[in-house]
Structure 1
Amino acid sequence: MTFTQNFSAVGDSLALSALVAVIPILYFFWALAIKRMQGYIAGLTTLLLALILAVVAFKMPAGMAVMSAVQGGVYGVLPIGWIIIASVFLYKLTVKTGQFDIIRNSVVSLTVDRRLQALLVAFSFGAFLEGAAGFGAPVAISAALLVGLGFNPLYAAGLCLIANTAPVAFGAIGTPIIAVEGPTGVSAIEISKMVGRQLPFLSLFLPFFLVVIMAGFKKAMEVLPAILVTGISFAVTQYLSSNFLGPELPDILSALVSLFALAIFLKFWKPKNIFHFSAEAEIAATIATAPGNPPVKNVGTEVFKAWSPFLILTGFITIWGIPAIKLALAGHYIGTNGLLKAVNSIGALFTYMPEVPLLNNKVISSAGTPIAAVFKLELLGAAGTSVLFAAIVTKFIFKISWKEWVATFGETLNELKFPIITIASVVGFAYVINASGMSTTLGMSLAKTGSMFAFFSPFLGWLGVFITGSDTSSNLLFGNMQKITADSLGMNHVLAIAANSSGGVTGKMISPQSIAVACAAVGLAGKEADLFRFTFKYSLILVVLIGILTFVQNTSLLSWMIP
Structure 2
Amino acid sequence: MYQQVYDPVAVSLGWTSIFAAIPLTLMFVMLGVFKRSPQLSALVSLVVCLAVATLVYSMPFGVALNSGGYGVAFSMMTIGWILINAMWIYHITVKTGHFAILRESFSHISDDLRIQAIIIAFCFGALIEAVAGSGVPIAICSAMLVAIGFSPVKAAVMALVADTAPVAFGALATPITVLNGQTDLPYNVLGAMVGRQCPFIAAILPFILVFIVDGARGLRMTWPAALAAGLFFAVTQYVVSNFFAVQITDVVASLVSAGALIALTRVWRPSNVLTVPNENAGPAPSRQNMLLAYAPYIFIVIVFSLSQIPPIARLLNYGVYKFPWPGLALTRADGTAVNTMFTVNYLPVSGTLLLFCGVLTMIALRVRPAMALRAFGAALAQVRWALPTIFMILAIAYIMNWSGQTTTLGRFLAGAGPAYALISPVIGWIGVVVTGSDASTNALFGHLQVEAAKATGISPVLLAATNTTGGVLGKMLSPQSLAIGAAAVGVIGREGEIFRSVFGWAVALLAGFCLFVYLQSTPILGWMIP
- TM-score, normalised to structure 1, is 0.74
SS at structure 1 position matched to 2:280: helix
Answering whether residue 136 of structure 2 is matched by residue 149 of structure 1, we say no
Contact 2:442–2:468 (8 Å) recurs in 1: no
**CA distance in 2: counterparts of 1:446 and 1:468, whole angstroms:** 21
Residue 417 of structure 1 deviates from its aligned partner by: 1.4
Contact 1:141–1:521 (8 Å) recurs in 2: no
Q: Which amino acid aligns with 1:149?
A: M
After superposition, what is the alpha-carbon deviation per residue over 1:432-465, rounded to whole angstroms, capped at 9, x for unaligned? Answer: 2122222222211221013523323444665788
Answering whether residue 499 of structure 2 is matched by residue 505 of structure 1, we say no
Which residue of structure 2 aligns with residue 25 of structure 1? 24
**CA distance in 2: counterparts of 1:87 and 1:122, whole angstroms:** 19
The structure-2 alpha-carbon separation of the partners of 1:171 and 1:447, relative to structure 1 and needing over 3 Å to count, comes to: same
The counterpart of 2:164, out of the listed 154, 162, 174, is 162
Answering whether residue 43 of structure 2 is matched by residue 44 of structure 1, we say yes
Q: Which amino acid aligns with 2:99?
A: F
Which residue of structure 2 aligns with residue 357 of structure 1? 326
SS at structure 2 position matched to 1:267: helix
Structure 2 counterparts to residues 398-477 of structure 1, below 5 A: 398-459=365-426, 469=439, 477=447
Contact 2:449–2:467 (8 Å) recurs in 1: no
After superposition, what is the alpha-carbon deviation per residue over 1:62-119, rounded to whole angstroms, capped at 9, x for unaligned? Answer: 1111122222222222221121211111111111112222111112211466654453
SS at structure 2 position matched to 1:377: strand
**CA distance in 2: counterparts of 1:232 and 1:35, whole angstroms:** 41
Which residue of structure 2 aligns with residue 385 of structure 1? 352
The structure-2 alpha-carbon separation of the partners of 1:143 and 1:457, relative to structure 1 and needing over 3 Å to count, comes to: closer
Residue 144 of structure 1 deviates from its aligned partner by: 6.4
Contact 1:127–1:166 (8 Å) recurs in 2: no
Q: Which amino acid aligns with 1:358?
A: G
Contact 2:429–2:467 (8 Å) recurs in 1: yes
Q: Which amino acid aligns with 1:477?
A: H
Which residue of structure 1 aligns with residue 293 of structure 2? 306
Contact 1:352–1:376 (8 Å) recurs in 2: yes
- TM-score, normalised to structure 2, is 0.78
SS at structure 2 position matched to 1:164: helix
After superposition, what is the alpha-carbon deviation per residue over 1:162-195, rounded to whole angstroms, capped at 9, x for unaligned? Answer: 2425757x958987999999759xx959x95x76
Which residue of structure 2 aligns with residue 288 of structure 1? 282
Answering whether residue 454 of structure 2 is matched by residue 484 of structure 1, we say yes
Contact 1:84–1:517 (8 Å) recurs in 2: no
**CA distance in 1: counterparts of 2:81 and 2:375, whole angstroms:** 15
SS at structure 2 position matched to 1:72: helix
**CA distance in 2: counterparts of 1:229 and 1:371, whole angstroms:** 47
Q: Which amino acid aligns with 1:286?
A: N
After superposition, what is the alpha-carbon deviation per residue over 1:212-264, rounded to whole angstroms, capped at 9, x for unaligned? Answer: 56776766666433222222333455567888x59969767755543322221
Answering whether residue 60 of structure 2 is matched by residue 65 of structure 1, we say no
The structure-2 alpha-carbon separation of the partners of 1:464 and 1:59, relative to structure 1 and needing over 3 Å to count, comes to: farther
The structure-2 alpha-carbon separation of the partners of 1:124 and 1:421, relative to structure 1 and needing over 3 Å to count, comes to: same
RMSD: 4.6
Contact 2:428–2:442 (8 Å) recurs in 1: no
The structure-2 alpha-carbon separation of the partners of 1:256 and 1:55, relative to structure 1 and needing over 3 Å to count, comes to: same
The structure-2 alpha-carbon separation of the partners of 1:44 and 1:517, relative to structure 1 and needing over 3 Å to count, comes to: farther
**CA distance in 2: counterparts of 1:63 and 1:257, whole angstroms:** 51
Residue 158 of structure 1 deviates from its aligned partner by: 3.3
The structure-2 alpha-carbon separation of the partners of 1:172 and 1:118, relative to structure 1 and needing over 3 Å to count, comes to: farther
Which residue of structure 2 aligns with residue 341 of structure 1? none
**CA distance in 2: counterparts of 1:216 and 1:425, whole angstroms:** 43
Moved more, 381-390 or 299-308: 381-390
SS at structure 1 position matched to 2:515: helix
Answering whether residue 1 of structure 2 is matched by residue 5 of structure 1, we say no
Residue 418 of structure 1 deviates from its aligned partner by: 1.3
Which residue of structure 2 aligns with residue 395 of structure 1? 362
SS at structure 2 position matched to 1:452: helix
Residue 211 of structure 1 deviates from its aligned partner by: 5.1
SS at structure 1 position matched to 2:335: coil
Q: Which amino acid aligns with 1:164?
A: P
The structure-2 alpha-carbon separation of the partners of 1:23 and 1:116, relative to structure 1 and needing over 3 Å to count, comes to: farther
The structure-2 alpha-carbon separation of the partners of 1:145 and 1:72, relative to structure 1 and needing over 3 Å to count, comes to: same
SS at structure 2 position matched to 1:46: helix
SS at structure 2 position matched to 1:370: coil
Q: Which amino acid aligns with 1:506?
A: G
Identity level (%) = 27
Q: Which amino acid aligns with 2:326?
A: P
Contact 1:122–1:164 (8 Å) recurs in 2: no
The structure-2 alpha-carbon separation of the partners of 1:232 and 1:327, relative to structure 1 and needing over 3 Å to count, comes to: same
The structure-2 alpha-carbon separation of the partners of 1:446 and 1:463, relative to structure 1 and needing over 3 Å to count, comes to: farther
Q: Which amino acid aligns with 1:484?
A: K
Moved more, 262-271 or 456-465: 456-465
After superposition, what is the alpha-carbon deviation per residue over 1:304-356, rounded to whole angstroms, capped at 9, x for unaligned? Answer: 12221222233223334557645542xx4xxxxxxxxxxx3xx2xxx554543
Gaps of 5+ in 2: 147-151
After superposition, what is the alpha-carbon deviation per residue over 1:466-505, rounded to whole angstroms, capped at 9, x for unaligned? Answer: 7982787689725654553343xxxxx45x6424413431
Gaps of 5+ in 1: 277-281, 290-295, 333-343, 488-492
SS at structure 1 position matched to 2:164: helix
Contact 1:316–1:390 (8 Å) recurs in 2: yes
SS at structure 2 position matched to 1:367: coil
Structure 2 counterparts to residues 205-354 of structure 1, below 5 A: 205-210=204-209, 223-236=222-235, 254-270=253-269, 272=272, 274=274, 285-288=279-282, 299-320=286-307, 325-326=312-313, 328-329=315-316, 332=317, 344=318, 347=319, 351-354=320-323
Contact 1:83–1:383 (8 Å) recurs in 2: yes
The structure-2 alpha-carbon separation of the partners of 1:156 and 1:13, relative to structure 1 and needing over 3 Å to count, comes to: same
Moved more, 384-393 or 204-213: 204-213
**CA distance in 2: counterparts of 1:441 and 1:551, whole angstroms:** 23
